[in-house]
């Protein structure tokens, strides 16, 4: 594995994780206060980094091209395969539909603002899907190259945004305590989902090969980079706006308007708009690549132009159709996407590692790499998953 591929994979994981949902974090955690929101974020990052390492442990004894669905069948049988397939398809299709709808809206705004083209919104949605769907259809290497450029520009926009916010941080705003305990519960699913990149791990393994040492480092660095950015973003947003102002920001537009009122800086709006557009694009590339590889592996499509075209159609037409005709339906479904993510990113890794360790111990096979913590850590992760699902229904 070359350092070039490692760097590209690192950006792919970070780019998938750091999406437009990041902008919703201050709103979701508004009533928590800075200290409590940081604690929740660190705990959930630790959970997601741990389960990502569990997937590395599972992949070490499988071919590089193995999908999550195939791994689940090998270790958990047909029931595990059905659960993995259903949860992954729901999550990835729902995310793709959301990103297509959001990306089409952003593209339509840019075409109107920059080129003066007053086109139907459906045109921009289809154009967004064609452009980025073609990139994904060409393969992981093309996604890697395009994602690098977009990610770098996105980080520049984010640094500009943080550069405008951080000097204006008021330390008193950061001392706010949770308004009520129930708000912590309602924020957990949003924060948890913001660390979700596990659907892209099989694509990364396919791209890099089964190099356990490098994959371990990749999972930790790839998840730590979003954590750092999220912490700086929380510091900037919660340090500039009061807790009351944040709690009155019921939407992304309201949040941006609050920042405009406080900051009175035209560059801030530009930075937020640019970051949101690029965040949608990079998240869509990462998520749709995971869906594309999943469908190709399970439909046993050959890696040639005609068969990749078929896989592209299967991958992109369903979410495009929903984004065009039923956007509100998928927005509602996305509210429960965290449940599918818990199944994929917590329950399945725990169950597969548990089964794999037991099998290898009973058969006296080489243990290989094992994530530290043993059975207590696996049980703690499973209990955490149950609590996140309970928080989704309770919030």
Ranges of each domain in the chain: 3-394
Supply the pLDDT for residue 251: 62
Cα angle vertex 126, ends 122, 127, to 5°?
Answer: 115
* Cα–Cα nearest to 286, from 6, 13, 8, 7: 13
Query: What per-residue confidence (pLDDT) applies to 329?
Result: 54
Do 224 and 76 contact (CB within 8 A), yes or no?
A: no
3-class SS at 113? helix
Distance of CA 243 to the CA centre of its chain: 26
List the one residue out of 309, 251, 324, 315 whose CA is nearest residue 289: 315
- Which residues lie closer than 8 Å to 355 by C-beta, 6 or more apart? 75, 76
Helices (H), 197-347: 201-208, 212-240, 243-247, 252-263, 266-298, 305-325, 327-334, 337-342
The owner of tokens 């990462």 is 286
Let me know how many helices (H) and strands (E) the chain has, helices first: 17, 0
**How many Cβ atoms from other residues are within 10 Å of residue 386's Cβ?**
12
Please calculate the CA angle 350-351-355 and round it to the nearest 5 degrees. Answer: 120
How far apart CA 264 and CA 282 sit, in angstroms, is 29
What pLDDT score does 328 carry? 59
The C-alpha atoms of residue 108 and residue 122 are separated, in whole angstroms, by 9
Name the superfamily (CATH) of residues 3-394. Amino acid/polyamine transporter I (1.20.1740.10)
Q: What is the dihedral of CA 77, 82, 85, 87, to 10 degrees?
A: -120
Confidence (pLDDT) at 303: 66
- How high is the pLDDT of residue 15? 75
Q: Each residue's pLDDT tens digit in the chain (395 positions)? A: 577 788 888 887 887 788 766 777 887 887 888 888 999 999 999 999 999 999 999 999 999 888 888 899 999 999 999 998 888 888 888 888 888 887 887 788 778 877 777 777 788 889 999 998 898 888 878 888 888 888 888 888 888 888 888 888 888 888 887 766 666 787 888 889 889 888 889 888 988 888 899 999 999 999 999 999 999 989 988 888 888 888 877 666 667 777 777 777 778 878 877 887 888 888 888 888 888 888 887 777 666 677 788 888 999 999 999 888 876 555 555 666 788 999 999 999 999 999 999 999 999 999 999 999 999 999 999 999 999 999 888 75
């Amino acid at each position: 594995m070359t350092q070039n591929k490692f760097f590209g994979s690192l950006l792919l994981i970070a780019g998938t994780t750091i999406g437009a949902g990041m902008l919703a974090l201050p709103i979701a955690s508004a009533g928590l206060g800075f200290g409590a929101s940081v604690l929740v974020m660190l705990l959930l990052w630790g959970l997601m980094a741990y389960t990502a390492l569990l997937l590395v442990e599972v992949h070490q004894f499988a071919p590089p091209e193995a999908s999550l669905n195939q791994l689940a069948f090998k270790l958990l049988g047909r029931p595990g395969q059905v659960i993995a397939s259903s949860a992954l398809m729901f999550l990835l299709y729902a995310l793709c539909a959301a990103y297509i709808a959001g990306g089409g809206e952003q593209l339509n705004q840019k075409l109107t603002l920059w080129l003066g083209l007053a086109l139907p919104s459906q045109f921009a949605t289809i154009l967004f899907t064609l452009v980025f769907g073609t990139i994904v259809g060409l393969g992981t290497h093309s996604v890697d190259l395009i994602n690098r450029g977009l990610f770098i520009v996105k980080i520049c926009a984010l640094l500009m945004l943080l550069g405008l916010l951080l000097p204006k941080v008021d330390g008193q705003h950061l001392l706010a305590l949770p308004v009520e305990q129930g708000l912590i519960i309602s924020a957990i699913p949003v924060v948890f989902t913001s660390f979700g990149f596990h659907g892209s791990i099989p694509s990364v393994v396919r791209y890099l090969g089964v190099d356990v040492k490098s994959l371990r480092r990749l999972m930790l660095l790839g998840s730590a980079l979003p954590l750092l950015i999220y912490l700086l973003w929380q510091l900037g947003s919660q340090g500039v706006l009061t807790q009351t102002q944040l709690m009155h920001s019921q939407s992304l537009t309201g949040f941006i308007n609050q920042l405009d009122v406080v900051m009175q800086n035209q560059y801030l709006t530009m930075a937020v708009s640019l970051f949101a557009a690029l965040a949608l694009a990079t998240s869509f590339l990462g998520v749709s690549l995971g869906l594309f590889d999943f469908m190709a592996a399970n439909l046993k499509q050959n890696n040639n132009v005609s068969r990749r075209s078929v896989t592209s159609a299967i991958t992109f037409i369903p979410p495009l159709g929903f984004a065009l005709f039923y956007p509100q339906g998928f927005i509602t479904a996305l509210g429960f996407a965290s449940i599918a993510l818990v199944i994929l990113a917590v329950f399945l890794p725990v169950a597969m590692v548990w089964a794999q360790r037991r099998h290898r111990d009973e058969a006296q096979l080489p243990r290989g790499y094992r994530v530290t913590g043993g059975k207590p850590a696996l049980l703690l992760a499973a209990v955490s998953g149950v609590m996140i699902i309970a928080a989704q229904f309770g919030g």
